[in-house]
Amino acid sequence: MEKELRYIAAIIKHSGRKILKNYTITPPQFIALQWLFEHGDMTIGDLSNKMYLAFSTTTDLVDRMEKNNLVKRVRDEKDRRVVRIHLLDEGKRVIEEVIDKRCDYLNSVLSNFEEDEVKQFSNLLTKLHKEMK
């Protein structure tokens, strides 16, 4: 089972990178945008922890995304020392398009599965994910 999960993860990663070739973002930028899209504004420190990257690496990543108008730095209204990374409309558009294309790919792979198989598979993946947390 571990081997199959590893192979599946590698295939998903490879197909995801093929999709990203049509965009001006890198795989690490995609991951950062995805975190911001799913969890909202966060500090560079929070984003670094989520991505398992050094603070300096995440700062460089955010700098490049800010230059491409995908995100912007926003000072916290309650504590001006805190700076949060905010996903801009262009960042949302890119992440939504990429996720839609990834879903289309997965749906094409699952086209030979019965509806109840897909449901059961999804439920089992959710259960596995919860157990792994």
The pLDDT value recorded for residue 37 is 97
For residues 1 and 7, give the distance between their C-alpha atoms in angstroms, rounded to a whole number: 10
User: The pTM is what?
Assistant: 0.85
DSSP per-residue string spanning 59-115: HHHHHHHHHTTSEEEEE-SS-TT-EEEEE-HHHHHHHHHHHHHHHHHHHHHGGGS-H
Please name the residue that has the structure tokens 């603070």.
Answer: 55
What is the dihedral sign for C-alpha 36, 40, 46, 52? negative
Give the pLDDT score at 101. Answer: 95
The pLDDT of residue 85? 98
Long-range contacts of 101-105 (CB under 8 A, 24+ apart): 101/19, 102/12, 102/15, 102/16, 102/19, 105/15, 105/19
Q: Which CATH number fits domain 2-132: 3.40.50.280, 1.10.10.10, 3.30.230.10, 3.50.50.60?
A: 1.10.10.10
- Identify the pLDDT of residue 11: 94
Token code pair at residue 125: 């993946």
Q: What is the pLDDT of residue 89?
A: 97
pLDDT < 50 positions in the chain: none
pLDDT for position 74: 96
Provide the pLDDT for residue 99: 93
